[in-house]
Amino acid sequence: MKYCKVIFITLLAVAGSMANETDTLFQRLKNGYAFTESMESVKELMQEQRKDGTWPDVKYKKGSVPINHLKKTRYLSQGFNRYCPEASRKDFCDNLKGSVVNSLQYWFSNNKDYVSDNWWSNEIGIQQELAPILFMMWNELSESLKKQMISQFPEAPSGNGTNRTWLAELVAIRGIFEKRDSLIELGVNEIVSTIQETGREGHQVDHSYYMHGNLLYSGGYGKVTLSIASHWASVCRGTKFAFNGESMNALSALALDGTRWMMWKGMVDPMTMGREISRKGENKIASGFLPIIENLSAADTLHKKEYDAWNREISGANSLNGCRYFWRSEFMVCRSNGYYISLKMSSRRTVGSEFVNRENSQGFWLGMGVLSLYRHGYDFDNIYPLWDWTKIPGVTSYGVSAQKDKQLTNKSEFVGGLGDENIGVASMESKRSGLEGRKSWIFLDNKVVALGADIKSNLDNEVLTTLDQRYFRTAVLGDKKLTKVTDSVYSFNAVWHDSIGYKSLDGKPIYVKTQNRKGSWKNIGTQKGDESDSLITIVRVHGVTPKDESYAYAIEMNVGSKQFPKWINKKDIEVLANDSKAQVIRYIPKSYVAGTLYEPQTIELKSHRISFSAPCTFLMRQSGSEMHFVLADPTKNLQNMKITVEKITKSKPSLAYSVIVNFPQNLEAGKSVNAWFEL
């Protein structure tokens, strides 16, 4: 009998513990929805409500979701949660509760009419508004009304990537409302599954993020997944639903080794946002990561120092330096305290640009080698309605910008790169709509060397390569000085603007134009509003229907106006090759050799002859008798390659050294590898 009593007491304790943990999750989530708005604003919203529970400024239309009806109801419920614990406000609180119930009753009497053709609104958007109403009003609503509301939440998630994250969260929330541990566990586990490394949509092995196929979306959908996962990691901490060590490692890697690299001094790189580039202010959302960082810090104390540093970076500090190439997303970042540079490429393996829900209608050339140069986090704030989208920085293009296809990409598979300390190398064979070319970029500290070759087109359009298109902020220095907008085109061999130097390396001219521009957000997306400002555009011209055209230029960040005359004559870059077979430079101050080989090649140096048995992107450093190679396979098809280094001597026979380099495979194909020679 005593034994049975002990078992009974133990079972009660376990049941109580389970209930307490569910209650803990409920309270933590509820606290997250609390707000600080005034009572007057709540009263005003109540007064605006009609007798039938609707509002006059909400559009109630069959075939669409009047989501603002639920947003207003949510606002009232949050007001109830804040102002109605006090008995002295009984009349106000009774009326406020009546307003919430009246609104919900209207919704559930008419919601069959409010079905959108956008699945997200029906299956996620509505539920995201119902959840806080339930949390705020849980003890005030009838069981039948709560049951109606809970029935809108899924019992199992579907889809991939962020869509699955959204739905998994709703599954877990339903489990909390129904006190079903199995459903909570399912939802949390599915949230965790979406932050694990994958080859599909979601967290990639290089810690970039895919959505809508193989489209880089770290700053858009990736942010949503980070937000949800970090929130639940914090909410579940200390309970049986807590994320385990492996899950926290995946979450921290996505955040710290991926997304954080794509943000700089309060800016989130717009090239990581897909179609969201066409939304006003979307390149200023770094502050939106602060709650994510707070939740990560609470759940992942092992990386608290890194999260604290990331927090400071959003306010303008910088803790990350160097070049990092994301081989899955074909995206390069080089950064320091004084600059941020990124390069967005694409191949047949990835998506370069998307046009969805009428957003990003001018993104035809996105993903074709977009080179973004930042000296300040705000350099491109709200510039995109003003851009000439036929002249995107870094891109070789012609006069078309309208994107009509849902997704566009490069038609070549030769795209790759590497990042090693403060050096980066990237290459792209460009093939798009009648225009082809071979392009390489070598990143050397605060410098970029850009090489283009074999540029050809069968179209009757002028082809050009854009060095930059940005706000016109200072005088332009070169052979002549430009201090105001002229609308005229000027030719330079080298030009300076806003502490950035641009210099031709092949003797061909650089063309500069300054203009006053006006533009509307509607011209590129769905948002309203106009912008106006002055822009400077810097280009190289290749002519109409070019054949075998080329370019070679250098860009350097943080060049002072007084340094510019000396910088023009600085001979620190030697172009060793720039044609259809190879694009290679030597960085004279440190004797680095770097570039792209499109076929097996032998490079002749003063003291060495280096032979490569296969195409590659490479960097070679020499220190004393040691030669260090960093290599990557842009085709992602090679198993290995052979490098032979032959030491050239006058008095003795040449000495040759060879090594076989094995390239990573599967999801790591395209990742760089190292090789060393002791000569």
Rounded to whole angstroms, how far apart are CA atoms 198 and 246? 15
C-beta separation of 664 from 673 below 8 A: yes
Q: Give the model's pLDDT for residue 653.
A: 62
What's the predicted TM-score (pTM) here?
Answer: 0.94
**370-678 CATH pick, 3.50.50.60, 2.70.98.10, 3.40.190.10, 3.40.50.720:** 2.70.98.10
- Which is nearest to 149 in space by CA: 126, 121, 116? 126
Residue 166 makes CB contacts below 8 A (sequence gap 6+) with 124, 224, 228
- Give the C-alpha separation, 197 to 180, whole Å: 29
Average model confidence (pLDDT) for the chain?
94
- pLDDT tens, residue by residue, 621-672: 998 889 999 999 999 999 999 999 998 877 666 778 899 999 999 999 999 9
264: pLDDT confidence band, cut at 50, 70 and 90? Answer: very high
Range from 173-182, 255-264, 480-489, 508-517 carrying the lowest mean pLDDT: 480-489
Give the span between the Cα atoms of 244 and 299, in whole angstroms: 10
pLDDT at position 284: 63
Contact 270, 377 (CB under 8 A): no
- Band of pLDDT at residue 4, cut at 50, 70 and 90: very low
Average the pLDDT over 347-376 and give the result.
Answer: 96
Instruction: Confirm if 221 and 265 have CB atoms less than 8 A apart.
Output: no
CA dihedral 230, 286, 250, 18 (to 10 degrees): 0
**pLDDT at residue 283 in the model:** 57
Alpha-helix residue ranges (DSSP H) falling in 138-180:
143-150, 161-178
- pLDDT tens digits for range 16-64: 444 689 999 999 999 999 888 999 999 999 999 999 999 999 999 988 9
Handedness of CA 575, 577, 582, 587 (dihedral sign): negative
Which helix H or strand E contains 156, and what residues bound it?
Answer: none
Let me know: does 269 contact 374? Beta carbons within 8 Å.
no
- Fill in the DSSP letter of residue 257: T
Residue 8's pLDDT is 43
Give the whole-angstrom CA distance, residue 120 versus residue 167. 10
- Rounded Cα–Cα distance for residues 79 and 82 (Å): 5
Q: How far is CA 204 from CA 174, 415, 427, 525, in A?
A: 29, 17, 21, 28
Domain parsing of the chain, residue ranges: 370-678
Cα four-point dihedral sign 595, 599, 604, 610: positive
Question: Is the C-alpha dihedral spanning 212, 218, 222, 224 positive or negative?
Answer: negative
pLDDT at 153 over 70: yes
Convert 596-656 into a string of H (helix), E (strand) and C (coil): EECCCEEEECCCEEEEECCCEEEEEEEECCEEEEEEECCCCCCCEEEEEEEECCCCCCCEE
The amino acid at residue 445 is D
- pLDDT value of residue 651: 66
β pairing state of 462-471 and 447-457: unpaired
| Measured distance CA(584)–CA(610) in Å, rounded | 13
For residue range 561-618, list pLDDT tens digits in order: 999 999 999 999 999 999 999 999 999 999 899 999 999 999 999 888 999 999 999 9
pLDDT band at 479 (very low <50, low <70, confident <90, very high): confident
Tokens of 255: 């955040």
Q: Max CA-CA distance within the chain?
A: 104
Task: Quote the CA–CA distance of 243 and 445 in Å, as a whole number.
Answer: 39
Q: Evaluate if residue 428 carries a pLDDT over 80.
A: yes
Angle, helices 290-299 vs 304-314, to 10°: value is 170
According to the model, what pLDDT value does residue 654 have? 72
Predicted confidence (pLDDT) at residue 298 exceeds the cutoff of 70: yes
Could you tell me the CA-to-CA distances from 473 to 269, 375, 575 in Å, in that order?
A: 21, 12, 32
Q: Which residue has the tokens 């850009």?
A: 450
In our burial notation (b when 16+ CB lie closer than 10 A, e otherwise), range 199-229 reads eebbbbbbbbbbbbbbbbbbbbbbbbbbbbb
Say yes or no to pLDDT of 269 above 50: yes
Q: Label residues 506-522 b or e (16+ Cβ within 10 Å = b).
A: eebebbbbbbebebebe
With cut-offs at 50, 70 and 90, classify the pLDDT of residue 129: very high
Please determine, for residue 12, whether its predicted confidence score (pLDDT) is greater than 90.
no
Q: Could you give phi then psi for residue 86, rounded to 5 degrees?
A: -85, 130
Residue 86 in this model has a pLDDT that exceeds 90: no
* Cα separation, 162 vs 329, whole angstroms: 17
Q: How far apart are CA 600 and CA 576, in angstroms?
A: 16
**Closest to 588 (Cα-Cα) out of 600, 561, 606, 611:** 606
Are 643 and 610 spatial neighbours (Cβ–Cβ below 8 Å)? yes
Residues with Cβ < 8 Å from 301, sequence gap 6 or more? none
